[in-house]
Structure 1
Amino acid sequence: MDDSKPTDIVNMMIDAGVRKLELSPRDLLIRGAISGALLGAATSFAFVATLSTGQQLAGAMVFPVGFAMIMLLGLELVTGNFALLPLAALEGKAPWGAVVANWYWVFLGNMIGTMGFGALLAITLTNMGATAPTPLAARIIASAELKTLSNEALGNAGVIIVFVKGILCNWLVCLGVVMAMMASSTAGKIVAAWLPIATFVALGFEHSVVNMFVIPTGVLLGAKVTLAQWWLWNQIPVTLGNMVGGFIGLALYATYKPVKKPVPALPVTMRTLAE
């Protein structure tokens, strides 16, 4: 059978968290940067699918290719680490300081990758600024402004909305990470991850790493968004929401963590012989 029991998956999650915490900052940056670039490519692919078909659902169905590649290559994505790493700390296998340090380096790596890919994409979409933006470029610009300026117009309500969208997004993303662990075959892992990832995109939830690509790339292409608007009205509240959503890992840990049964004491005669 190409699956595992929920009680087994908790141990897999703990082990995965421990392995990730053993990586050096160099490895976290490299693997995080590759992940960011792949999500930038997947987001662009989703925009193209939507533009080609006129259907948002088409974009949602193709977007998970980025997550599938990240998962199969064993790369680092900060949103998935929000769920896995706290389990290692709760089990006493790593200090909380190491958890926070991992999140920092992976977040930085993800940003380097998304913004690097976005800069290269902007060059191709405008022929080094010599031509007008393509339909894909126009879509990225519109999305960047929607993710920031529309929230600013709503004031505090806008911050709350994207924060909640961040929670709902990473709840589904982390379910994809966990469900993929339950499969042993490549095809099984891809299908298991595909379901919740496509769902969050179709529902319009907010992913912090995706936004690291969309908003800066939109600015490069001409979006009227400032650095402050990017961080205050999207990146910070979405990242915090993703962090809260990642605690679905703790819920699974709480309900499926194997209970260690106490070893029964030997009878007096048996204990005497053992001694």
Structure 2
Amino acid sequence: MSELFGLDAFSPRQIAERVETVGVTKARLPLLPMFILSVLGGAFIGLGALYFVIVRSDPALSFAVKQVLGGMAFALGLILVIVAGAELFTGNNLLVMAWADRKISTFELLRSWSIVCAGNFVGAAGLALLVFLSRHPETNGNAIGREYLIIASAKLAMPFWTAFFKGVLCNALVCLAVWMALAGRSVVDKVVAIVIPVSAFVAAGFEHSVANMYLIPMAMLLQGFGAIGSNPAINLAGLFDNLLPVLLGNIIGGSVLVGLVYHLIYHRAPDGNSDAG
């Protein structure tokens, strides 16, 4: 009956096959569509981060409530990416499954990651500029603007290896959210699959490279042109010092802990055990 009405989820083996099929398509997108979709992906994650900061800026909320509600708000970004359609560097770490199965080349994998990462940066930083010009951070007596500076200062003060391992944990959860979204057959299925893993990584304070491409440039704009804050670490060098370990951690978390693990399971396990768990 569930199959008749399309209510059954795809099995784990079917998800693995879908990830590989989608990965081949993504890796072979022409340059212009790939880049434009990547700009959209960066902007969508930026919108999720904007929503998160609104929640975080409310001093009346407890720490746990801020983190959990903020994480649920941040899930807007990945929902837009999956449902509306966009290219996102962190989610595209799952392309490693198609690469491991020799369906795409190393060049195609690295080309996709490079173009999508660059497009995400343009989209996220571009959204930061638009939001800054809209004077949205001045809302609630500059409370939102001050929250951006608090968030950016904490990120830039983070040691390399702390940022790296937070990046690993973040993208393991993000790619699991993408994986589970591919199990769904409806928009509701996909949204439900996305919200909990994404809210978990945000609530735990893990590091998402594309979100940082929005949050830190916004803090830079507020400090440089909005006369809010005076942290000398909030600058372009600080941004890239943060992005390097977070990007590396995101790659390990998504590609190795999710992509390659599932590749080993569903391409090496006996057929009788492929749908276990």
TM (norm. structure 2) is 0.85
After superposition, where does 1:167-246 map in structure 2 within 5 Å?
Answer: 167-222=168-223, 224=231, 225-232=234-241, 234-246=242-254
CA distance in 2, matches of 1:194, 1:132: 27
| 2:77 matches 1:66 | yes
Instruction: Judge which range, 93-102 or 248-257, deviates more.
Output: 248-257
Contact 2:100–2:263 (Cα < 8 Å) also in 1: no
After superposition, where does 1:1-275 map in structure 2 within 5 Å?
Answer: 1-52=7-58, 54=61, 55-83=66-94, 85-125=95-135, 134-148=142-156, 150-151=157-158, 158-222=159-223, 224=231, 225-232=234-241, 234-246=242-254, 247=256, 248-257=258-267
Contact 1:36–1:113 (Cα < 8 Å) also in 2: yes
CA distance in 2, matches of 1:79, 1:202: 18
Q: Which runs of 5+ in 1 are unaligned?
A: 152-157, 262-275
Structure 1 position 42, deviation (Å): 1.1
Which residue pairs with 1:264 in the alignment?
none
SS in 2 for 1:193: helix
Which residue pairs with 2:3 in the alignment?
none
CA distance in 1, matches of 2:172, 2:182: 16
Structure 1 position 7, deviation (Å): 1.3
Structure 1 position 102, deviation (Å): 0.4
Contact 2:181–2:189 (Cα < 8 Å) also in 1: yes
Residues 112-151 of structure 1: per-residue CA shift (max 9 Å, x gap): 0001000011112279x9x997211111111111110x22
Which residue pairs with 1:272 in the alignment?
none
TM (norm. structure 1) is 0.86
Q: Which runs of 5+ in 2 are unaligned?
A: 1-6, 224-228, 272-277
**1:2–1:125 CA distance, 2 compared to 1 (3 A):** farther
**1:211–1:33 CA distance, 2 compared to 1 (3 A):** same
CA RMSD in angstroms comes to 2.1
**1:114–1:216 CA distance, 2 compared to 1 (3 A):** same
Structure 1 position 61, deviation (Å): 1.7
SS in 1 for 2:10: coil
Aligned length: 250
Residues 8-28 of structure 1: per-residue CA shift (max 9 Å, x gap): 111111101001012112111
Instruction: Judge which range, 28-37 or 54-63, deviates more.
Output: 54-63
SS in 2 for 1:182: coil
Instruction: Judge which range, 61-70 or 48-57, deviates more.
Output: 48-57
Structure 1 position 219, deviation (Å): 0.5
Contact 1:170–1:242 (Cα < 8 Å) also in 2: yes
CA distance in 2, matches of 1:57, 1:159: 26
Contact 2:28–2:108 (Cα < 8 Å) also in 1: no
Contact 2:68–2:200 (Cα < 8 Å) also in 1: no
**1:229–1:193 CA distance, 2 compared to 1 (3 A):** same
